[in-house]
Amino acid sequence: MSRSATAAIHLGALRGNFARARELAEGAKVMAVVKADAYGHGLERCARALGGADAFGVASIADGLRLRAAGHPQRVVVLSGPDAASDLAEMRRLQLEAVIHHESQLAMLEAERGGNPLKVWLKLDTGMHRLGFPAERAAELHARLAALPSVDSAIVLMTHFASSDELDSDRTARQTQRFFDATKSLPGERSLANSAALLGWPRARGDWIRVGGLLYGLSPNAGKTGADFGFRPAMTLTTRLVAINRIARGEHVGYGAAWRCPEDMAIGVAAIGYGDGYPRSAGVGTPVLVGDAPAQVVGRVSMDLLTLDLRRAPSATVGDVVTLWGPQLPAEVVAGHANTISYELTCGVTRRVLFTEDGA
């Protein structure tokens, strides 16, 4: 069976989302976060559409290499920094910037002898407790970095929020205050806000915002879609119906006989499954569109196929387009049924899906 699963990437939506982020940034510089192959949308195509970014944020030197090979001259920040001393030379060769968040990385820099000044971002832990130096050490660490001839003097200070999507919590306000208190005597630009903080915490904008999910039209906030904040989905995932079967009342559908037909009914079979990145955790009732008509998942998601209740799509025929998520069916809605987040859905689309792009 030939695969018909297609992910259409909407370059116009990417450009529009970037313009919206730039507007909300109110003068702060914008780092476009393109890690995880641009949240599953394709690094090179997205970087091309996001060419107005002041910097790109990546998770690895390999992604920085891809950006440089594609001709992008912007600042590129490796958000986890170097893993080994040999990484420093490669970062300099590619003119990448390093987030320094751990004593072992600082030791690598202090052990160097020579080398062109490397641009660094000093990451402080203000309450996320994942990566970063204790905030109270900010002045000491800044002084150690500034004393190194192999480090550029324009050190950027940064932190990361744990709960910036929770507007009814004071945790982000406390993290923000802790960061400003720790860095108030230090020179340099500041970077605090991620996508959720851009939407909900104006005081945390600083000099740089680091925006990821919103660029792809994905909401960082539970119960909301990107469209609720003026952002458009940048991916539409579709496939086609490959079969429609009449199944009698009381018969079971799919692996494990986990779902039983409540009446005589049409069951559609769509050519997509967890081998394509559609989540196996998507439960009964997860919505899809068959043409423009609503339908829903029944039975278990299998590796290659998805079974659908077509009672609300009585005109469906074999070959019809099935939309799994996109502008008319937000990924956030699908993610809610799969007990995950929209970021995981788009990041999980696999290589056997055909990617296309358009300017709309």
Residue with tokens 């779902």: 259
| CA distance linking residue 333 with residue 342, whole number of Å | 8
| CA distance linking residue 101 with residue 117, whole number of Å | 18
> β-pairing, 259-260 with 252-253?
antiparallel
Cβ distance 280 to 298 under 8 Å?
no
DSSP string, 50-97: TTT-SEEEESSHHHHHHHHHTT--SEEEETT--SSTHHHHHHHHHTEE
DSSP-assigned letter for residue 2: -
For the annotated catalytic residues, the residue numbers are: 35, 255
Cβ distance 193 to 201 under 8 Å?
yes
Helix (H, G, I), strand (E, B) or coil at 287: strand
Q: Length of the chain, please?
A: 360
- Amino acid identity of residue 111, one-letter, is A
| CA distance linking residue 166 with residue 139, whole number of Å | 30
Helix (H, G, I), strand (E, B) or coil at 90: helix
| CA distance linking residue 143 with residue 348, whole number of Å | 42
- 240 DSSP β-pair partners: 321
Structure tokens belonging to residue 173: 């306000």
Backbone phi, psi, residue 278, to 5°: -70, 130
